[in-house]
């Protein structure tokens, strides 16, 4: 499984293209990947950029959902809505679909946040605002997410 990491700044040019940062390209090349992607809406107001093999894997999971169940059918529709295959040009730029750019409110400056096997593309101002919502105690959030661990603040002193 591919794994990416890092936060990268880039810009959207007048034609709606974003340049892939050298650090991301290097990670993809090290994993033998071609700059062939599928892009669609993210869970928040950002875009999700998936290398094509990763998209195919995720789509296979979604295709197993029961379209006769209204909740699952709604998820399938939302997941595929706006999904577009894109290739990097020779200058390592991606032409972002206008409808997706509008959905995410992308302006000139963007942040590409790479994690696991996917890349989120955020308007830089929105990304910074999202970061401002970080919890004061990241360790307590970690305890809640991973479970079974009591935050240090809930352990009586002297124990």
- pLDDT (tens digit per residue) in 113-148: 999 999 999 999 999 998 887 777 777 777 788 876
Two tokens, residue 75? 């998820």
Average pLDDT over residues 100-114: 95
To which H or E segment does residue 120 belong?
Answer: strand 118-123
Residue 158 lies in a domain: no
Domain count, the chain: 1
Angle at which helices 52-62 and 70-80 cross, to 10°: 160
Average pLDDT over residues 92-101: 96
* 2-20 residue pLDDT tens: 789 999 999 999 999 999 9
Region of 104 please: left (phi>0), alpha (psi -120 to 50) or beta: alpha
Q: What's the chain's average pLDDT?
A: 89
Two tokens, residue 29? 């090349």
Print the domain residue range for 98.
Answer: 6-147
pLDDT at position 19, please?
A: 95
Residue 155 lies in a domain: no
pLDDT at position 43, please?
A: 86
* Helix residue ranges, H only, 36-137: 52-62, 70-80, 98-104, 124-132
Residue 129 lies in a domain: yes
Residue 33 pLDDT more than 70?
A: yes
Distance CA 104, CA 126 (A): 9
pLDDT at position 146, please?
A: 82
């Amino acid at each position: 499984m591919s794994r990416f990491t890092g936060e990268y700044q880039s810009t959207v040019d007048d034609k709606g293209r974003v340049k892939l940062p050298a650090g991301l390209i290097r990670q993809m090349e090290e994993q033998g990947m071609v700059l062939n992607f599928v892009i669609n809406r993210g869970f928040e107001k950002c875009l999700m950029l998936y290398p094509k093999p990763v998209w195919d894997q995720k789509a296979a999971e979604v295709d197993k959902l029961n379209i006769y169940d209204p909740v699952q059918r709604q998820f399938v529709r939302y997941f595929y809505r706006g999904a577009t295959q894109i290739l990097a040009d020779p200058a390592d730029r991606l032409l972002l679909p206008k409808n997706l750019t509008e959905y995410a409110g992308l302006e000139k400056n963007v942040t590409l946040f790479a994690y696991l096997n996917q890349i989120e593309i955020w308007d830089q101002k929105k990304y910074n605002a999202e970061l401002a919502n970080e919890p004061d105690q990241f360790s307590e959030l970690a305890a809640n997410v991973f479970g079974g661990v009591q935050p240090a603040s809930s352990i009586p002193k002297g124990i």
